[in-house]
Structure 1
Amino acid sequence: MTTPDRSAGAELIRAEPGVALWRRIVHVIEAEITDGTHPPGAKLPTEAQFSARFGVNRHTVRRALEELSRSGLVRVEQGRGSFVAEDVLDYAVAPRTRFSEWIRRHNKEPSGRILDLREIAADATVAAGLGIRTGARVIRLERLGMADGRPVSLGTHHFPAARFPGLLAALQSAVTITEALARAGVSDYRRQVTRVTARLPQPNEAELLRTPRNRPLLITENVNVDQNGAVVEFGVSRYPTPRVQIVFEP
């Protein structure tokens, strides 16, 4: 990325007399994003660099970046800087929604990182989702899903431990949940229920998903069943907006 010199930057924002300085900077950065000077996902210059380029104070630059963030064109990651927003990924909720297939459909490479994997006692919410008694043993998997190395989902998955005695070990070594379930005897499964809500992220969620604290997350509660209709998984997934939008398919 090439940063124009200060005189060129100052000339650009002088071209709109009568318009607030911060808004003139917004127009310049918008134009540069549109023409590909700053491509999707690229890190923008720092406030200090923009300030020097345009010959304005950092408060003016900060106001411009805040406006670009509100419009969804730029995302600000605390401690990392400002980035051009990527294209929105449509997450299609269908009977056989699979994470890897979803990401590859957008010509991106899927990957994941296990954050937590252990056996615990089911609380009332998990027990209701799995159709088991409160306190029964369940396998809990928390996983960060990524597209081209960018986090796009944070999922907490629960499986009935009594039904799948070998699943914990399978989840430790399998690349995907689908592969782990296949090793445990579930050749296929489908989505039975999806509930969608939204809320602001908790601090750890914002950090893991690299999303601002003031941007809501899309939350899905999912129940997956096998070919006989028996529940195999209850999960809660969080998706950062506007990086992901949920689409329901018949």
Structure 2
Amino acid sequence: MTDKTPLWQAIAMTLRSEIETGHYPPGDRLPTEAQLAARFGVNRHTVRRALSDLVAAGLVHARRGAGVFVLSRPTDYALGRRVRFSQNLAAAGRTGSHRFTRIETRPCDRQEAEALALAPGDPVHVIEGLSLADGQPLALFRSVLPGWLEGLPDYARAHASITAALAACGVADYSRASTRITAKLANATQALALQIAEKAPILRSVAINREGGPDDPGRPVEYGRTWFAGDRVSLVLTGL
């Protein structure tokens, strides 16, 4: 006599198939526990166990008070001497965009001064925001740029692009001078912005960019920190 498949497992298999065939694309919210219970004629506890199986398999993510959402497959993100967010995502077949949440000019601290070859207290432009792939949060970022880049905040607001803002300031090309990557756990505010669980793994990149190409580097023009959602990106090192 063949053992019967547990109901929760059969439900998980059905939902897994529907996710993999694109019935629920990345970023979509699954039906509620009550809706799934009604669909399959089971109690909510059985549905909850099926959803837990999908979470463990890395197919979905549960956000408290919001529901269960389908995760996208990790995007390859190249970290080379020239790093351009939109170009990186375009190469992976995805559309990149930025949402700036802070643009201001203030005195720099000692760490920023050292990275940008400035004196402590010199003015810097600070741009913070969220990077998205096909509308889904991929990373948080903070870019600190030297104050001698006159007009940069206005250019950044106008173009919604740091690269375009640098070009408007006369920096036609820039390249990566250094990159340091560290594994971290998301705090509450990072988790909220990235739409992940608090203490979920994230990857922090700390980088310094210089004007000019890799073979002719000039002055530092950007000291950046980026926090990538760990399950949404694969960092690929190229040409470093």
Could you say whether these structures have the same fold, taking a TM-score greater than 0.5 normalized by the shorter chain as the test? Answer: yes
Which residue, out of 192, 203, 213, partners 1:207? 192
Q: For 1:183-206, what per-residue CA distance to the aligned partner results, in whole angstroms no more than 9, with x for missing partners?
A: 111110001111111212122211
Shift, 1:222, TM fit: 0.9
Instruction: Sort the Cα spacing of 1:183 and 1:37 in 2 relative to 1 into closer, same or farther, 3 A.
Output: closer
Distance 1:34 1:220, change over 3 A: same
Partner residue in 1 for 2:233? 244
Selected match of 1:188 from 157, 169, 173 = 173
Post-superposition CA distance 1:78-114 (Å, at most 9, x none) = 3332122212111100111101111222222222211
Report if the CA contact (8 A) 1:153-1:240 is conserved.
Answer: yes
One-letter amino acid of the structure 2 residue matched with residue 86 of structure 1:
S
Matched to 2:175, the amino acid is R
Q: CA, structure 1 residues 113+39, in 2 after alignment: closer, same or farther (shift >3 Å)? A: closer
The aligned length equals: 234
**Amino-acid identity (%):** 38
Question: Alignment partner for residue 48 of structure 2, among 62, 74, 90?
Answer: 62
Change (3 A) 1:199 1:63: farther
- Alignment CA distance shift 1:67-1:239 (3 Å): same
CA distance in 2, matches of 1:22, 1:133: 62
Q: 1:110 aligns with which of 88, 96, 105?
A: 96
Superposition RMSD on alpha carbons, in Å? Answer: 2.0
Match of 1:53 in 2: 39
Q: Gapped runs of 5+ residues in structure 2?
A: none
Name the residue aligned to 2:162: 177
Picking from 61, 70, 77, the partner of 1:75 is 61
With the length of structure 2 as denominator, give the TM-score of the two structures. 0.88
The 1:56/1:145 distance shift into structure 2, 3 A limit, reads same
1:238 Cα deviation from its structure 2 partner: 1.1
Tell me, what secondary structure is at the counterpart of 1:44?
A: coil
Q: Distance in 1 between matches of 2:124 and 2:61?
A: 37
Task: Give the 4+ runs in structure 1 shifted more than 6 A.
Answer: none
Residue deviations 1:109-137 (CA, integer Å, cap 9, x gap)? 22221100001222233223223233322
CA deviations over 1:26-75 (Å, ceiling 9, x no partner): 22322222333333333211111122223333233223222312321112
Structure 2 equivalent of residue 99 of structure 1: 85
Q: Is the contact between residue 16 and residue 24 of structure 1 (CA under 8 Å) also seen in structure 2?
A: no
Contact 2:27/2:136, CA 8 A, preserved across alignment: no
| Aligned partner of residue 242 in structure 1, secondary structure | coil
Cα distance in structure 2, aligned partners of 1:78 and 1:101? 34
Q: Partner residue of 1:43?
A: 29
Letter in 2 for 1:229: G
Query: Would you say the 8 A contact 2:99–2:160 is kept in 1?
Result: no
- For 1:37 and 1:98, locate their aligned partners in 2 and report how far apart those are by CA, in whole Å: 32
For the pair 1:144 / 2:144, whether they are aligned, the reply is no
Amino acid in the other structure paired with 2:152:
L
Distance 1:59 1:127 in 2: 56
Is 1:89 aligned to residue 78 of structure 2?
Answer: no
Structure 1: which 5+ runs fail to align?
A: 1-14
Q: Tell me how far 1:16 sits from its aligned partner.
A: 6.2
Matched-pair contact (CA < 8 Å) for 1:40–1:86: yes
